Chain A
């Protein structure tokens, strides 16, 4: 198909010339998604570990809720965050709407359930294996959880990558809370949506190609690190 050939040529042109606008957009995409994943990781890993190891009332309900929230529609999250951050909303005074900060907040909410739920699953499986040994050694609840999370850190990388995939691919939430402002909140996915709107399908597809390459590169790096570490530590 001609469109794909055009797109491939156009994508290559964008990459080869190091198009400045494209670099800005790629940089912002990375900054927003990585920040969101970092925030979600800092909260999600302890939450997931606590849900796996802790025994408290409401735990099952939270686990079910978390699993369900993995499929949260980005548009709904975007809308909710928009209404919170709007000048007329409860957090309006901070003036965060249509800033990259708002996009980080929305993506953090999207990614958190994924990281927490996958972490809970991984820690749950590992706990079945480690529990007796750690208790026999006398490791306490919190210390045992920390040991466990650290010991399965390479498996948890998969959870974090799943979160990153979700963050870098979604368009609904960042479009609404970021506003797709040229040079300020325009990221890869909203730029693709815009070019599609303008009917420039080859350029849209080319940007999509760049996004896919970027995601592949990030995953490749993460997997090389993971594999090397796993060979090293077993």
Chain B
């Protein structure tokens, strides 16, 4: 979709301070279509905040976040986000997906079909009429993925999507993410799980203390981390200061 792409996403000297504390410090990066990007770092490194700045849920206190397409309506429509803990509405699984389509002003007759397709893509079609809040944790997260993907966004943000799930549910989620990736969706995922980063990602943005310390292709990053912090993190010996 190069003609209508909202990518690349450009961050220029982005900073985020709150209550006098610096959470994100002078991050500049361009993220283009193609490889799956992993925001890697320890808990508290600033991955989630950086992702919210990219998605537009937070406004930077300095610097700028810009998409190549300046139309805010298209920007919003062509990106979606899945959170660590899915927030589902008290209605059926199908209605949850349909709600997202309604908010995006998809005409009513098409909503149900698109929602059913999205559920099918995450293997939840058989639970379409089940109330969303009574699904298992893994099913809820897959439903959140279906909802995010129903509009076929160009960019899908995922913030630690498996952090609260058991290993088998985690595998399921990763399979779905890989399928979306294969279908051409740009994946940008935050995680602190090295194994998951390797399974899902193609490149790494390593975040430490709110700074972008290193950007590298996945294999290269693990084989030869350029920074001492990344090397320490990989060894599981990240020094806390």
Please report A residues at the B interface, Cβ cutoff 8 Å: 129-130, 132-139, 143, 147, 151-152, 154, 232-234
Is B87 interfacial (CB 8 A cutoff)?
yes
Of the candidates B80, B99, B133, the one whose C-beta lies within 8 Å of that of A136 is B80
Q: Which residues of A contact B182 (CB under 8 A)?
A: none
Cβ contact within 8 Å between A129 and B87: yes
Of the candidates B57, B77, B80, B103, the one whose C-beta lies within 8 Å of that of A139 is B103
Is B132 interfacial (CB 8 A cutoff)?
yes
**Interface SS of A by simple majority:** helix
**Docked complex Cα distance between A130 and B85 (Å):** 11
Cβ contact within 8 Å between A136 and B134: no
Residue of B nearest to A140 (CB): B103
Cβ contact within 8 Å between A133 and B87: yes
Of the candidates A135, A147, A152, A154, the one whose C-beta lies within 8 Å of that of B99 is A147
Residue of A nearest to B147 (CB): A137
**Docked complex Cα distance between A151 and B81 (Å):** 21
Q: Measured between C-beta atoms, what is the minimum distance from A130 to chain B in Å? A: 5
Interface residues of B in 71-90 (CB under 8 A from A): 76-77, 80-81, 83, 86-87, 89-90
Of the candidates A130, A138, A147, the one whose C-beta lies within 8 Å of that of B76 is A138
**Docked complex Cα distance between A137 and B132 (Å):** 17
**Docked complex Cα distance between A86 and B49 (Å):** 60
24 A-B contact pairs sorted by A residue (CB < 8 Å)? A132-B52, A133-B83, A133-B86, A133-B87, A135-B57, A136-B80, A137-B100, A137-B103, A137-B147, A138-B76, A138-B77, A138-B103, A139-B103, A147-B89, A147-B99, A151-B89, A151-B90, A152-B90, A233-B90, A233-B131, A233-B133, A233-B134, A234-B90, A234-B134
Is B217 interfacial (CB 8 A cutoff)?
no
Is B91 interfacial (CB 8 A cutoff)?
yes
Q: Measured between C-beta atoms, what is the minimum distance from B45 to chain A in Å? A: 19
Q: Which residues of B contact A135 (CB under 8 A)?
A: 57
Q: Which residues of B contact A232 (CB under 8 A)?
A: 131
* Chain B, interface residues (CB within 8 Å), range: 20 to 34
Q: Which residues of B contact A152 (CB under 8 A)?
A: 90
**Docked complex Cα distance between A21 and B133 (Å):** 48
Q: Which residues of A contact B179 (CB under 8 A)?
A: none
Is B226 interfacial (CB 8 A cutoff)?
no
Q: Which residues of A contact B104 (CB under 8 A)?
A: 137-138
Q: Which residues of A contact B131 (CB under 8 A)?
A: 232-234
**Docked complex Cα distance between A143 and B99 (Å):** 11
Is B111 interfacial (CB 8 A cutoff)?
no
Q: Which residues of A contact B90 (CB under 8 A)?
A: 151-152, 154, 233-234
Residue of A nearest to B76 (CB): A138
Q: Which residues of A contact B89 (CB under 8 A)?
A: 147, 151
Is B142 interfacial (CB 8 A cutoff)?
no
**Docked complex Cα distance between A129 and B99 (Å):** 17
**Docked complex Cα distance between A135 and B59 (Å):** 13
Question: Chain B, 23-53, contact with A by CB distance < 8 Å: what is the 0/1 string?
Answer: 0000000000000000000000000000010
Q: Which residues of B contact A233 (CB under 8 A)?
A: 90-91, 131, 133-134
Q: Which 7 A-B pairs have the closest CB atoms?
A: A234-B133, A133-B87, A233-B90, A234-B134, A136-B81, A233-B131, A139-B103
Of the candidates B57, B91, B103, the one whose C-beta lies within 8 Å of that of A143 is B103
- Please indicate which of the listed interface residues A138, A147, A152 has the most CB atoms of chain B within 10 Å of its own CB: A138
**Docked complex Cα distance between A134 and B87 (Å):** 9
Question: Chain B, 88-114, contact with A by CB distance < 8 Å: what is the 0/1 string?
Answer: 011100000001100110000000000
Is B55 interfacial (CB 8 A cutoff)?
yes
Q: Measured between C-beta atoms, what is the minimum distance from A144 to chain B in Å? A: 9
